[in-house]
């Protein structure tokens, strides 16, 4: 397997603000943990410096009016009609370099797609990507530019058949609705139910429209869902879909806000369940564009994406976070030495209720999506 890791120290230069839950420092933290674990060397050919997307690249999906607003907002000053386009205090703040940071993250995803499509890499991982909520003309859910959509559109414009797999705690709404009416892209999102969590979409009945009927697949999971149930849903739904759809390339969003200690969701995943899904995606994908995503406990982000990168390269990560890293970053939320979590399983009546709900959703998806594809 030829792999590529897209990274720039510039990722962490942009700042949503001290009170915002998305800390871009988590990207630098992940890179440094990967290095100290011996998974990337100083002159490693797998390390690729990304090139920023262009405005023309953004126009593959986003409206000219929205892009003009982002240009105006990148000075850090509030602009007229900003709120109409989803920008302002709260989730999607205006800050200096907003557009430049978005162009760099999106460019890394486009670079990853090109590397994989050209055969220069079998797997390319952009930890700054996966900003799946952005709409054509609106910022949403901490996302200004929808890099998964741009990468997928680039690939389908080259005649590729693309499957998108999203395991973030939040429904990948921006990606789903970008391809809701086409059979050229299969979107699969496993997430906490929209009845409890932003963006309030992603119910099992959202299966696509027109030519895309059956090509939008959602697996909403109950709050407190654990490793066992999350991976069971993934195992029963995703491999059969990939076998049926036969994508040329898989694009995945690997958000880790699904983890037990994440402050913005209510799921109970650990590195145990997360890594089992990473290994399954790898087994399904001869060509794989892997993107980051959510994750607001930054220690979880660094640990999980380090383990994901190790799995992508068929390498063993150490059992413990190296001393050198803890000495430097111990105040970044690392609560112990272990790089790996033990599996977490809910028991009792709560588990019985969750199991019934997960079984119901799996049955629905098998009856309404798998047969359609």
CA proximity to 1, closest of 317, 288, 303? 288
- Set 62, 132, 133, 170: catalytic member: 133
Phi-psi domain of 116 (left: phi exceeds 0; alpha: psi -120 through 50; beta: other) = alpha
Q: Cα separations (Å) of 58 from 62, 159, 204?
A: 6, 19, 30
DSSP 316-346: PPPSB--HHHHHHHGGGS--SSBSSPPP---
156: tokens are 């389908």
Token pair in block for residue 155: 């690939």
CA pair distance 199, 259, nearest whole angstrom:
18
Beta bridge mates, 269:
259
Q: Six-digit token pair at 283? A: 């087994």
Residues in the chain: 373
Judge whether 163 and 185 are in contact, CB under 8 Å: yes
Q: Which helix (H) or strand (E) holds 290?
A: strand 288-291
The stretches of the chain forming alpha helices (DSSP H) are 25-36, 55-58, 64-73, 98-118, 147-157, 173-178, 227-245, 271-284, 298-312, 323-329, 349-365
Asked if omega into 199 is within 30° of 0 (cis), the reply is: yes
Burial annotation 11-28 (CB, 10 A radius, 16+ → b, else e): bbebbbeeebbbbbebbb
Examine the residue annotation and report whether 133 is marked as an active-site residue of this protein: yes
Regarding beta strands 162-166 and 216-221, do their DSSP bridges make them parallel or antiparallel, or are they unpaired? unpaired
Rounded to whole angstroms, the Cα distance separating 187 from 206 reads 11
From residue 321, how far is each of 111, 294, 339 by CA, in Å? 30, 22, 5
Active-site amino acid positions: 133
């Amino acid at each position: 397997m030829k792999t590529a890791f897209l990274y720039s120290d510039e990722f962490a230069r942009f700042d949503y603000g001290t009170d915002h839950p998305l800390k871009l420092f988590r990207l630098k933290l992940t890179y440094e943990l990967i290095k100290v674990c011996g998974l990337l060397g100083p002159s490693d050919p797998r390390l690729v410096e990304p090139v920023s997307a262009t405005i023309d690249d953004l126009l593959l999906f986003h409206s000219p009016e929205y892009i003009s607003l982002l240009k105006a907002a990148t000075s850090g000053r509030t602009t007229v009609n900003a709120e109409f386009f989803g920008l302002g205090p709260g989730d999607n703040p205006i800050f200096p370099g907003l557009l430049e940071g978005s162009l760099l993250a999106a460019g890394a995803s486009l670079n990853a797609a090109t590397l994989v499509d050209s055969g220069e890499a079998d797997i390319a991982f952009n930890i700054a990507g996966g900003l799946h909520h952005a709409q054509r003309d609106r910022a949403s859910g901490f996302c200004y530019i929808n890099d998964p959509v741009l990468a997928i559109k680039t690939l389908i414009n080259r005649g590729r058949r693309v499957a998108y797999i999203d395991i973030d705690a939040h429904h990948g709404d921006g990606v789903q609705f970008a391809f809701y009416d086409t059979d050229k892209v299969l979107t699969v999102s496993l997430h906490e139910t929209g009845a409890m969590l932003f963006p309030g979409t992603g119910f099992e009945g959202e299966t696509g429209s027109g030519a895309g009927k059956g090509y939008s697949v959602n697996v909403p999971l109950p709050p407190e869902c654990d490793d066992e149930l999350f991976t069971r849903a993934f195992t029963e739904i995703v491999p059969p879909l990939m076998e049926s759809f036969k994508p040329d390339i898989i694009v995945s969003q690997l958000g880790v806000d699904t983890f037990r200690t994440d402050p913005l969701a209510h799921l109970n995943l650990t590195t145990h369940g997360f890594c089992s899904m990473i290994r399954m995606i790898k087994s399904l994908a001869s060509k794989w564009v892997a993107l980051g995503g959510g994750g607001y406990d930054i220690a979880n982000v660094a640990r999980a994406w380090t383990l994901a990168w190790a799995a992508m390269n068929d390498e063993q990560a150490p059992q413990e976070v190296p001393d050198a890293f803890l000495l430097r970053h111990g105040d970044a939320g690392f609560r112990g030495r272990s790089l790996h979590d033990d599996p977490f399983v809910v028991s009792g009546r709560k588990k019985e209720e969750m199991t019934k709900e997960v079984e119901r959703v799996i049955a629905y998806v098998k009856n309404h999506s798998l047969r359609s594809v």
